[in-house]
Structure 1
Amino acid sequence: MKATRKLGTLTLMITLIGALLSACGSQAEPSTTTAEAKSGESTTSTQAESGQSETKSYTDSLGHTVEIPVNAKRIIFTGSDLGDLLALDVKPVGAALGIIGDQIAYPELLDGIEDVGDLQGDLEKITSLSPDLILLDAGGSYYEENQYTLLSKIAPTVTYDRLSTNERVKVFGDILGKEQAAEDWIETYAEQFEQVRNQLDLPTGVTASVFLQLGKDMYVMGNSALAETVYDTLQFTPAPKVKESLIDKNEPFANISSELLPEFAGEYLFVLTDLSEEERNNSDSIMTTDIWKSIPAVKNNKVYYLNTKWNFDDPITKERLMDELPSILGK
């Protein structure tokens, strides 16, 4: 579509995900009905030779069948949704903190985790941490099979895809032997958010859009990161143009020109930005333009501004966002 320019990586977007949409990452793969169908995981427990740790056979998202520890102790995580592991009470020894460290909603939980570089990981740093399991994000366009080969020489390496929050949590629960913890989190979050949704008393059958502002650029989100909460949890309906141009095509986000903002805008707008209210009101801000002011949601005071740290969809971020939503929405 001439109006939209796809970004090469969701990392840029978050830088929102600063690294905030750092969390989001690049091109998403087409979704399937279940996490297992999507990534092809299957596990078979086996007992290793006497004197060695117990292992199990695991087939990852790209079809590699790997012998991994049943109870891994020194994990490297190269993705942007570190909260997926922390929610299961698993703290890796190393993670790609350079991508997410300054952008996430839970910085205090990073204590004790070493930075291993970008989403592919620094080989020397990873080796120095003596990992027994490496979890490699293979959902982005930057993924290279050669990197998997190199990492797998250091420790058993498992790839995973960028799925919905619940699907990812189930996948990591399967890999790490935390299946019950994964199910417990999914059930508890659903129950707690139902209570919050009732408290918010939101309208039904209305459309919404999620925009991300980075500098002078504006991005519209598909159904990833914050948008997943807006559409799947808060139960807003995606604006028609968002559904047609992004969600139906499995696009996580797109950069759009200012003149097209009204076409992608729903009846409610959720705008991710690190600009203060004063900065948004400056003369060179897109929020002061006639195009922005012409959007019905703007005219009707149905615009909600959020810090870009909320553009991740890991469990920790979603829990903390749930606590903040009444304040954000003025309820």
Structure 2
Amino acid sequence: MRTARRFFVLLAITTLMIALVAACGTKVQESAPTVATEQPKGEATTKMITDSKGHTVVIPTQARKIVYTGSDLGDLLALGIKPAGAALGVIAKQVAYPDLLVGIQDIGDVSANLEKVLSLEPDLILMDSGGTYYKSTDYDALNKIAPTVTYDRLPTFERLLVIGDILGKKQAAEKWIQDFKGKVAGMKGKLTVKEGETATVFIRLGKEFYVMGNSGFSTILYDTLGYKPAPKVKQTLIDKNERFSDVSNEVMPEFAGDYLFVLTDDNEAARAASDSFTNDSVYKSIKAVANKQVYYIPTKWNFDDPITKDRLLDELPKLMK
């Protein structure tokens, strides 16, 4: 029933969109490849690319108004690009850079509000093709508004280079990566990680727990600081390319590393006042808990975009005191 209802809603929106397109005339770009025109100096104004889903798309070499549907908005911001619109419905209150969202219009969730997208008159749309929520019908609807390019959820550096290449900002992407690596080298002197030390990241949502693979906050531990994932985390999540998985309290010790990082928005007072998991006997039996090697981290740091990673490096010494 939900699928059928979603189909008819999408059909209604698409019908409305077609009417708006007719009214807007040339404001909407068709998805069919076009012949690239040239600027007076001989530089092409368009280029043809093949995206992560195999679409061949003709896009502007220098897009003026971009709409972004993914969750890693920091990719664009790190390249000095502020999109006209983005999917802010979920991430706006979660990211570590709310100050950089000023002036960006919310287009809704990953499927996007087509009327809102159309009203922004974008000349390029970037669409996250990762996860199971990607639907070709969503792509087709967006591609009728402006050339739409999909990209995969690659590791941060790889993803940034792909976005940079699409937007003609590859040099800026390379520079950010080099600058970040230099910053990491300085940070490692402040946060000494011994060879072979393991770490695990749990997310606490109410009384429910999830263990993280190598995504979000975990990437700063494993890929940047040099912690090793706990063996169980590597075997059951990372080796299977799983981003996260729910875990019962009883088996938490099996996933726990030498250090625990618990992502939660509850402060110590809130945990003490409630039926806190910290009083659970199983939790107390974890070696990292007994050794007082547990850190409570705000969930806003559970993204792996460049802006979040850069700001997280500045905050880690405080968070890990």
Same-fold call, TM cutoff 0.5: yes
Name 1:101's counterpart in structure 2: 92
AA paired with 1:79?
G
Establish whether residue 84 from structure 1 lines up as the match of residue 87 from structure 2: no
Name 1:289's counterpart in structure 2: 280
Q: Give 1 or 2: higher helix fraction.
A: 2
AA paired with 1:285?
S
The structure, 1 or 2, with the larger RCO (C-alpha pairs under 8 Å, 6+ apart) is 1
Name 1:48's counterpart in structure 2: 37
Q: Following TM superposition, by how much is the alpha carbon of 1:239 offset from its aligned partner in structure 2, in angstroms?
A: 0.2
Preserved CA contact (<8 Å) 1:74 1:92: yes
**Could you report, residue by residue, the CA deviation over 1:129-170 in whole angstroms, capped at 9, with x for unpaired residues?**
000000011102111001101100000000011110001100
1:66 aligned residue (49, 57, 62):
57
**TM-score, scaled to structure 2:** 0.86
Name 2:181's counterpart in structure 1: 190
1:265 aligned residue (245, 252, 256):
256
- The structure number with the bigger radius of gyration is 2
Preserved CA contact (<8 Å) 2:260 2:288: yes
Name 1:308's counterpart in structure 2: 299
**Could you report, residue by residue, the CA deviation over 1:239-263 in whole angstroms, capped at 9, with x for unpaired residues?**
0000000000000000111111111
Establish whether residue 231 from structure 1 lines up as the match of residue 205 from structure 2: no
Specify the SS of the correspondent of 1:231. Answer: helix
Preserved CA contact (<8 Å) 1:56 1:69: yes
1:125 aligned residue (104, 111, 116):
116
The CA RMSD over aligned residues, in Å, is 1.4
Mind listing any 5+ residue stretches in structure 1 that lack a counterpart? 1-45
Name 2:146's counterpart in structure 1: 155
**Could you report, residue by residue, the CA deviation over 1:154-211 in whole angstroms, capped at 9, with x for unpaired residues?**
0000001111000110011000000100000000001111100112222221111001
Tell me the distance in 1 between the aligned counterparts of 2:269 and 2:38.
65
Preserved CA contact (<8 Å) 1:206 1:237: yes
Specify the SS of the correspondent of 2:295. Answer: strand
Tell me the distance in 2 between the aligned counterparts of 1:49 and 1:150.
28
Change (3 A) 1:77 1:267: same
1:241 aligned residue (232, 240, 243):
232
Equivalent residue pairs, number? 285
Preserved CA contact (<8 Å) 1:282 1:288: no
AA paired with 1:173?
G
**TM-score, scaled to structure 1:** 0.84
Establish whether residue 255 from structure 1 lines up as the match of residue 256 from structure 2: no
Name 1:178's counterpart in structure 2: 169
Preserved CA contact (<8 Å) 1:99 1:119: no
Kindly, what percent of the aligned residue pairs are identical? Answer: 58
AA paired with 1:48?
T
Mind listing any 5+ residue stretches in structure 2 that lack a counterpart? 1-34
Specify the SS of the correspondent of 1:248. Answer: helix
Q: Following TM superposition, by how much is the alpha carbon of 1:101 offset from its aligned partner in structure 2, in angstroms?
A: 0.3
Specify the SS of the correspondent of 2:190. Answer: helix
